[in-house]
């Protein structure tokens, strides 16, 4: 970044303690130009940072500066010291984990949100932040084709959304945990949470956080296509009820992390209905008539429902109690932005609303105060970037991009299937492909070593970044397409590098 003159120094300007307005504009222009160039040509940087552990820390002073420094110097250090340690999630060759995008409208939304620096804790502390959040999430609900009785609430991540959903489940069970806690209570049954063996670890973390206990998360086995087996869920719940435990919640996933498999939500909801008819209420010791809460984790896969012909991926979700989808995963919204939908918002409120005198407000009409729906008080104005993304792309534009990602994934899977010694190891319902190099007659152990080496070589290239997982004990590679700038040539490059690495 080129230097801005004296006029732009932090100490300059009209006696302002902050950067002078003129300097802000000049630096701002330069930064926006830099970002524009970065977005136009992200491939100029290696996608996976090439630094060693400690390299970046070693380049940074151990103590803060005593006196303010010029932004020129700070920005120069950003380029020389920080940028080399960036793994570029906004790179079209990023195929690891779940690939994400900060689209241009989303970046602009972040910029505005920072400038406004709104804390959307109460309606009063920024009416637009509250009302826009409710509206943007209702738009997102409509885009996903969900029923109109969902209430949306933005959190930072799906992990927090799922934890809040489990807290709501506990509140709905009427166990008086909010007031009395859980420790030392002889009247409280063991609470159980069920999810598939392929569910995200955030389910386990939510249970740990809420004092449910990790061993009370039941990982139900999946079928040959990595989907939770409802028959085994039914058996697990029946066995727990027979032992006097309380089936608190079931978490089904639409787009599991490893393979993006889709749990049979409708059948799972059916199992829960059966439990409601015959289950926990039949055990008088539990003193609760609640049925298990059904939470759907659609953090990644849920977004695909914006494509009209893919709506079916959310089949049965309207039967659930809560649902999470992350616009920051596959809806081109800069991280962080997770949308939690609940059918009964009053339960979330019952779990979390606590209003000390200094936060009491009186408005001319009833209002929503977003602090009532979770743990945090202060909250960022995340709805702004989501609203800008939805408006800038429109329903058709969003669908078109997601459709294209899914088509690219099918193309890649086709190349793998057609190649000798390579195999696709899981169905490809979305834009992620699990595959591996598997020449005949090589032991599982050696296949793991070979595929690890292939992955390392490919990732060393700097042009693509893939990750791995294990499925039924077998080490497999994953190629996840989700960046807005990814084109067929990037996927083709990944495939070329993979084959070269295997040769
Ligand atoms: C299915 C699923 N659920 C939840 C999460 C957690 O998402 P977050 O990082 O927003 O907490 C992930 C992350 O990849 C995921 O794949």
Q: What is the pLDDT of residues 8-24, one digit of tens each?
A: 444 444 556 899 999 99
The answer to whether the beta carbons of residues 198 and 226 sit under 8 Å apart is yes
The stretches of 300-382 forming alpha helices (DSSP H) are: 327-330, 345-352
Please tell me the predicted confidence (pLDDT) of residue 288: 52
- Answer whether residue 286 shows pLDDT above 80: no
Q: Where exactly does CATH 3.40.640.10 map onto the chain?
A: 113-390
pLDDT digits (tens, 9 = 90+) for 343-356: 999 999 999 999 99
Give, for ligand 1, the residue of 95, 99, 100, 158 to mutate: max count of ligand atoms closer than 8 Å to Cβ. 158
CA–centroid distance, 17 to ligand 1, in Å, is 41
Give the pLDDT of residue 275. Answer: 86
Domain 113-390 CATH assignment equals 3.40.640.10 = yes
Query: Which residues make Cβ contacts (< 8 Å) with residue 90, sequence separation at least 6?
Result: 38, 39, 42, 100, 101, 102, 483, 485
- Closest residue (by CA) to atom 16 of ligand 1? 257
Per the rule left: phi > 0, alpha: psi between -120 and 50, beta: everything else, 473 is left
- Residue closest to 312 by CA, chosen among 324, 299, 298: 298
**Ligand 1 mean position, distance from CA 335 (Å):** 12
* Ligand 1 probe mutation, 198, 299, 340, most atoms within 8 A of CB: 299
Each residue of 462-478: pLDDT tens digit? 999 999 999 999 999 99
Task: Report whether residue 338 contacts ligand 1, using a CB cutoff of 6 Å.
Answer: yes
Give Cα separations from 21 to 18, 29, 127 (angstroms): 8, 12, 27
Evaluate: CB of 200 within 6 angstroms of ligand 1.
yes
- What is residue 405's predicted lDDT score, i.e. its pLDDT? 98
Any idea which architecture 6-88 has in CATH?
Up-down Bundle (1.20)
Residue 162 CA: which ligand 1 atom is closest? 4
Cβ(198) to ligand 1 under 6 A?
no
User: Is the minimum distance from the CB of 260 to ligand 1 under 6 angstroms?
Assistant: no
DSSP string, 357-369: GGG----SS----
8 Å CB contact between 351 and 171:
yes
Q: Is 432 in the pocket of ligand 1 (CB under 6 A)?
A: no
pTM for the model: 0.94
303, two tokens: 């977004």
Distance in Å, CA 392 to ligand 1 centroid: 25
How far apart CA 406 and CA 429 sit, in angstroms, is 8
To test the ligand 1 pocket, which listed residue (99, 155, 200) has its Cβ within 8 A of the most ligand atoms?
Answer: 200
Average pLDDT over residues 186-194: 96
Q: How confident is the model at residue 279 (pLDDT cuts 50, 70, 90)?
A: low
Whether residue 158 has its Cβ less than 6 Å from ligand 1: yes
Residue with tokens 């552990």: 53
Instruction: Name the closest-CA residue to atom 5, ligand 1.
Output: 158
Distance 207 CA to ligand 1 centre (A): 15
The CA distance from 287 to 116, in Å, is: 49
Residue range(s) of every CATH 1.20.1340.10 domain in the chain: 6-88
Neighbours of 365 (CB within 10 A): 5
Q: Is the CB of 196 under 6 A from ligand 1?
A: no
Q: Which atom of ligand 1 is nearest to the CA of 301?
A: 1
Tell how far the Cα of 333 is from the centroid of ligand 1, in angstroms: 15
Average pLDDT over residues 300-322: 98
Taking the C-alpha atoms of residue 22 and residue 19, their distance in angstroms, rounded to an integer, is: 8
C-beta of 430 in contact with ligand 1 (< 6 A): no
What is the C-alpha to C-alpha distance for residues 235 and 228, in angstroms, rounded to an integer? 13
Q: Which of 95, 314, 329, 337 to mutate to test the pocket of ligand 1 (most atoms within 8 A of CB)?
A: 329
Q: In what helix (H) or strand (E) does residue 411 lie, and over which residues does it extend?
A: helix 383-418
Q: Are the beta carbons of 313 and 302 closer than 8 angstroms? A: yes
CA distance 424 to 426: 6
The alpha carbon of 233 is separated from its chain's Cα centroid by a whole number of angstroms, namely 25
Within 173-219, where are the H helices?
177-180, 201-209
Q: What is the pLDDT of residue 277?
A: 84
């Amino acid at each position: 970044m080129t230097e801005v003159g004296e006029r732009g120094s932090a100490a300059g300007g009209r006696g302002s303690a902050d950067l002078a307005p003129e300097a802000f504009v000049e630096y701002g222009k330069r930064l926006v130009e830099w970002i524009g160039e970065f977005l136009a040509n992200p491939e100029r940087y290696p996608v996976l940072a090439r630094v060693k552990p400690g390299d970046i820390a070693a380049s940074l002073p151990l103590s803060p500066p005593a006196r303010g420094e010029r932004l020129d110097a700070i920005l120069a250090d950003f380029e020389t010291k920080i940028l080399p340690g960036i793994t570029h999630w906004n790179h079209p060759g990023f195929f690891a984990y779940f690939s994400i995008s900060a689209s241009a409208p989303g970046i602009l939304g972040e910029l505005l949100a920072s400038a406004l620096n709104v804390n959307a804790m109460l309606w009063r502390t920024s009416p637009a932040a509250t009302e826009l959040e409710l509206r943007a999430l209702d738009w997102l609900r409509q885009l996903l084709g969900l029923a109109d009785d969902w209430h949306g609430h933005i959190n930072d991540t799906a992990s927090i959304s799922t934890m809040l959903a489990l807290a709501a489940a506990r509140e709905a069970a009427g166990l008086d945990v909010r007031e009395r806690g859980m420790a030392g209570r002889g009247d409280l049954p063991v609470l159980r949470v069920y999810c598939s063996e392929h569910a995200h670890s955030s389910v386990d973390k939510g249970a740990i956080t809420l004092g449910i206990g990790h061993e009370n998360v039941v990982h139900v086995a999946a079928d040959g296509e990595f989907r939770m087996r409802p028959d085994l869920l039914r058996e697990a719940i029946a066995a727990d009820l027979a032992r006097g435990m309380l089936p608190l919640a079931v978490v089904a996933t639409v787009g599991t992390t490893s393979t993006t498999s889709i749990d049979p939500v409708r059948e799972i909801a059916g199992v829960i209905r059966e439990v409601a008819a015959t289950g926990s209420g039949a055990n008088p010791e539990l003193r609760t008539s609640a049925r298990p809460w059904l939470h759907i984790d659609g953090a990644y896969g849920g977004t695909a429902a914006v494509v009209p012909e893919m709506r079916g991926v959310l089949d049965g979700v309207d039967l659930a109690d809560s649902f999470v989808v992350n616009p920051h995963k596959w809806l081109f919204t800069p991280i962080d932005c997770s949308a939690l939908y609940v059918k009964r918002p009053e339960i979330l409120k019952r779990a979390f609303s606590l209003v000390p005198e200094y936060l009491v407000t009186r408005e001319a009409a009833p209002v929503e105060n977003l602090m009532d729906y979770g743990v945090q008080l202060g909250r960022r104005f995340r709805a702004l970037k989501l609203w800008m993304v939805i408006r800038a792309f429109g329903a058709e534009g969003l669908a078109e991009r997601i459709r294209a990602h899914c088509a690219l994934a099918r193309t890649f899977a086709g190349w793998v299937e057609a190649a000798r010694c390579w195999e696709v190891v899981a169905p490809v319902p979305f834009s992620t492909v699990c595959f591996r190099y598997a020449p005949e007659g090589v032991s599982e152990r050696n296949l793991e070593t070979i595929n690890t080496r292939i992955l390392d070589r490919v990732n060393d290239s700097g042009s693509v970044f893939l990750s791995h997982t294990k499925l039924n004990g077998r080490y497999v590679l994953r190629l996840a397409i989700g960046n807005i700038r990814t084109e067929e040539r990037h996927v083709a490059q990944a495939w070329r590098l993979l084959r070269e690495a295997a040769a």
